[in-house]
């Protein structure tokens, strides 16, 4: 019998059968074992050890300062030990002194936040398989992002940069995004779509990210998905104080979050400056806390930089636009936790043919008064 079928029989059918026969029920230990068998089905990873299962499936915590990856400083990607999906990049790992590996940023959409029942801490789990990773803490000031993912080494497997294991993991990530983002038309009035941009770099070149907010995230996401070199664009919420907000929470206007898009791209094919130049052309950076008919702080214009280099690029482009007469109100602030929006928001324009409401205006080649910028002046295209 197939492994999953056996587990399902043990979980559901066996207790009923025993009840009918007047026999003792299956023990809790047996049910737990069956549940673990179901959770580990069809994953491209070796079976979990007892300690790994304790952490990933039973939410145990490994002893501090004992984890294999606590002092690992090699370049690469940390993947889920259970399902093999990418969780964290080595560039986002830092020393916190807490005794467990610490990261201030996860791979986009890879980690789910679940508040503990007592409301005191926030658990983090693999968004793909549900395996327990650890907990996330905010406001401690360790890094500019002000976030610490405290992760059990036993929950992860390290894939060195450029290794076949890393390439396979990134390919799984790309294939998952492609499956969630079907191409083709979405009905009688839908516009034709192009193949998912995630398919452009399954070999591991998607190492850079940008986070921006420019009004309704449907249109911003759609615009970035059409850029060569962009591997993934994820709609979500960032810039506020509420942990794991819902769309309804953000719409109420009291979370501080903006509708934003996280762009993962291949820096050998498109630069961060090119990403931002496009951003300033597809939305109106002169509108304060609104974008077209959408009003509210959640529709503000913002760039969330991840390092000093990104901050400098954003400041340079804003300064140039101001030189051209644009009264830019775009906020430039450090990146914080990014919460992926609900599934029905992802790839909205691709799926429905609606939501592409952002118009493109060549602001870097056209002054605010409509006159063209003289040839050879201003910023050169990167």
Q: Which residues are catalytic?
A: 150, 216
As a whole number of angstroms, the distance between CA 31 and CA 80 comes to 24
Running DSSP on this structure, what letter comes out for residue 13?
I
Contacts of 142 (CB under 8 A, 6+ apart): 94, 96, 102, 104, 148
Please give the angle made by the CA atoms of 85, 223 and 287, to the nearest 5 degrees.
Answer: 120
Question: 170 to each of 130, 207, 240, how far by Cα in Å?
Answer: 19, 10, 29
**Is residue 291 within 8 Å of residue 259, measured between CB atoms?**
no
217-225 vs 272-282: helix crossing angle, rounded to 10 = 130
Q: What is the DSSP string of 290-312?
A: EETTEESGGG-EEEEESSHHHHH
- 3-state class (DSSP) for residue 180: helix
* Residue 123 CB neighbour total at 10 angstroms: 16
- 3-state class (DSSP) for residue 225: helix
Running DSSP on this structure, what letter comes out for residue 218?
H
As a whole number of angstroms, the distance between CA 135 and CA 150 comes to 5
As a whole number of angstroms, the distance between CA 296 and CA 299 comes to 6
């Amino acid at each position: 019998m197939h492994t999953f079928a056996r587990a399902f029989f043990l979980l559901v059918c066996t207790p009923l059968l025993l009840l009918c026969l007047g026999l003792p029920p299956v023990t809790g230990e047996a049910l737990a074992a069956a549940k673990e068998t179901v959770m580990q089905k069809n994953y491209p990873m070796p079976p979990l050890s007892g300690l790994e299962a304790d952490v990933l499936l039973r939410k145990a915590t490994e002893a501090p300062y004992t984890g294999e990856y606590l002092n690992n400083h090699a370049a690469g990607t940390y993947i889920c030990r259970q399902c093999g999906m990418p969780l964290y990049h080595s560039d986002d790992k830092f020393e916190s002194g807490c005794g467990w590996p610490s990261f201030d940023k996860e791979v986009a959409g890879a980690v789910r936040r679940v508040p503990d029942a007592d409301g005191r801490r926030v658990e983090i789990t693999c968004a793909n398989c549900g395996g327990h990773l650890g907990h996330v803490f905010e406001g401690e000031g360790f890094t500019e992002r002000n976030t610490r993912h405290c992760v059990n080494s036993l929950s992860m497997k390290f894939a060195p940069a450029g290794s076949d294991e890393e390439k396979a993991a990134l390919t799984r990530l790309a294939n998952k995004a492609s499956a969630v983002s079907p191409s083709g038309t979405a009905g009688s009035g839908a516009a034709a779509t192009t193949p998912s941009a995630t398919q452009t770099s399954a070999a591991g070149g998607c190492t850079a990210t940008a986070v921006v907010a420019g009004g309704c995230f449907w249109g911003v996401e759609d615009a970035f998905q059409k850029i060569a070199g962009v591997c993934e664009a994820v709609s979500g919420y960032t810039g506020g104080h509420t942990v794991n907000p819902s769309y309804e929470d953000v719409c109420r206007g009291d979370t501080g979050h903006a509708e934003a898009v996280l762009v993962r791209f291949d820096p050998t094919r498109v630069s961060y400056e090119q990403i931002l130049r496009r951003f300033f052309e597809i939305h109106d950076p002169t509108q304060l806390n609104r974008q077209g008919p959408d009003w509210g702080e959640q529709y503000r214009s913002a760039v969330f930089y991840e390092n000093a280099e990104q901050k400098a690029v954003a400041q340079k482009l804003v300064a140039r636009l101001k030189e051209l007469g644009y009264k830019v109100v775009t906020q430039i602030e450090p990146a914080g936790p990014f919460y992926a929006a609900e599934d029905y928001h992802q790839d909205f324009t691709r799926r429905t043919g609606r939501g592409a409401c952002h118009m493109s205006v060549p602001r870097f080649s056209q002054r605010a008064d409509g006159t063209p910028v003289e040839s050879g002046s201003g910023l050169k295209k990167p």
